Structure 1
Amino acid sequence: MHRFFVNPRQVDEKNKIIEILGDDVKHISKVLRLKEGQEVEICDGKRMEYYVVITKIKKDKIYTSIKEMHLSHREPNIQVILYQGLPKSTKMDLIIQKCTELGIYSIIPIQTDRTVIKIENSKLEKKKIERWQRICYEAAKQSKRGKVPHITEIKEWKEIWEHMEENDLNIIAYENEKSKGLKQLLKEIKKPIKKIGILIGPEGGFTDQEIQEAQNKGIISISLGPRILRTETAGFATVTMLMYALGDLGGY
């Protein structure tokens, strides 16, 4: 069954009506060619799911009637935030898509010393973020997420520290780390972990100065194994391992 996200303001539970607006109207009527009387899934982005029947299709709006509603159980019990050094080309598209499928909570693109792509034009940045958020939205629909992860504006290296203080645990992937791997770190953790931050560098990784600065901020450097992973692989490889160890990946 096809799934769509709506703003909670579009949900009228009292009268059992949900309105679908925006680009999804064209997608439903012109691309999928769904008709009145057919059923779809709708999520309000806050983990409420609705099974609805299409009752009326208009040019700019689709009306649906709620048949069933329940709380989504597709969101993991941990929040994983990816702080991703901006990669070249369209690698960020892949990172966003796969991390969304795996259950990422949010993604924060960052500029680092070795970031090749420098986005200094605010209009270009806005356009990129809108595109990334759309990729995130489509991936959330496909994987039947209970919410759409948020892609923030691009941050400078020194802007992320205050944000990371809100996490229960922060790690930074470092290819020269020899003393501790992610597997060992997770075994050592005794306190409950609900919010985890992952720092992944761009092509070329982090500089020694950046690693030292991160460690001084209490961020734990970890190895992801004996092989060097590309930036577009390292993020969702780490998310996968965390979701398996602490989340819901692999089943209950």
Structure 2
Amino acid sequence: MHRFFVEKHNIDRENKNVIINESEDVKHISKVLRLEAGEKIEICDGHNKEYICEIEHMSKKDIRVSIIEEKESNREANVVIDLYQGLPKAAKMDTIIQKCTELGINKIVPIMTKRCVAQIKDKKSEEKKLERWEKIALSAAKQCKRGKIPTIAGLHRFNEVIDKLKEYDLAVVAYEDEETNGLKNLLKNSNYEKIAIIIGPEGGFEKEEIELIKNNYGKSITLGPRILRTETAGFTALSIIMYEIGDLGGR
């Protein structure tokens, strides 16, 4: 069953109906999927509430559906995990956002570090990229039937990230020169509620950046004996955490 996200104010629980008026969703339902009145879809409010609905009326501007069943979504992890990702080159960020959304990330924050080759020239370019990244997160959230859409933050400077680390129960930075401190060991017998993953760009982090993280509530970790690419490291770390907390791998 196809899944769509709508704003909470578009859901009338008392009268059991929902209005879909996002133009891309209206077009997708009517023109791409060619759904008709009487067919069923899933609606999610982005806050872990989902509805089985039946299409009642379709127009060029909106689609009205009736609520058949309402239930809580049980697709989100019980630990909040945010990714701070060194800005990579080309379309690598697209892949990072898509895969991390599938794996259950809460928020993705692109960051500028000393070794970042990629640059966002101005505010207009940033807004354009952010709009693209938000669409990728939305599409991935629909596909994997998330109960919420991950937040894609605007570009942060490295010092801004340092200031935020104290907000987390655990903040880890993947570092190629770390040999002993493994992520798996950090997660044993721990009840973390909020975790930050910090990943460098293609060239990694400068040593002084790692020291700054470590001096401000962060821990450097190894992800294993092989050096992972920037577009692989984030969702590898996320996968390990999700497995260790029991969110991945089944029961």
Scaled to the shorter chain, the TM-score interval is over 0.9
Alignment of 1:89-238 (within 5 A): 89-187=90-188, 190=190, 192-238=191-237
Corresponding letter in the other structure for 1:69 = E
Conservation of the 8 A alpha-carbon contact between 1:78 and 1:247:
no
Cα displacement string for residues 44-63 of structure 1 (whole angstroms, at most 9, x for unaligned residues): 00000000000000111100
SS of aligned partner of 2:15? coil
Shift of 1:164: 2.5
SS of aligned partner of 2:167? coil
Q: How many Å separate the matches in 2 of 1:118 and 1:66?
A: 46
| Counterpart position of 1:20 | 20
Conservation of the 8 A alpha-carbon contact between 2:165 and 2:217:
no
Conservation of the 8 A alpha-carbon contact between 2:165 and 2:216:
no
Aligned length: 250
Q: How many Å separate the matches in 2 of 1:174 and 1:197?
A: 14
Conservation of the 8 A alpha-carbon contact between 1:5 and 1:45:
yes
Conservation of the 8 A alpha-carbon contact between 2:176 and 2:227:
yes
Q: Residues 232, 49 of structure 1: CA spacing in aligned structure 2 closer, same or farther, 3 A cutoff?
A: same
Identical positions, percent: 53
Shift of 1:194: 1.0
> What is the TM-score normalised by the length of structure 1?
0.97
Q: How many Å separate the matches in 2 of 1:136 and 1:128?
A: 12
Corresponding letter in the other structure for 2:126 = E
Shift of 1:93: 0.3
Q: How many Å separate the matches in 2 of 1:201 and 1:3?
A: 34
Q: How many Å separate the matches in 1 of 2:242 and 2:204?
A: 23
Q: How many Å separate the matches in 2 of 1:44 and 1:163?
A: 28
Shift of 1:112: 0.5
Corresponding letter in the other structure for 1:138 = S
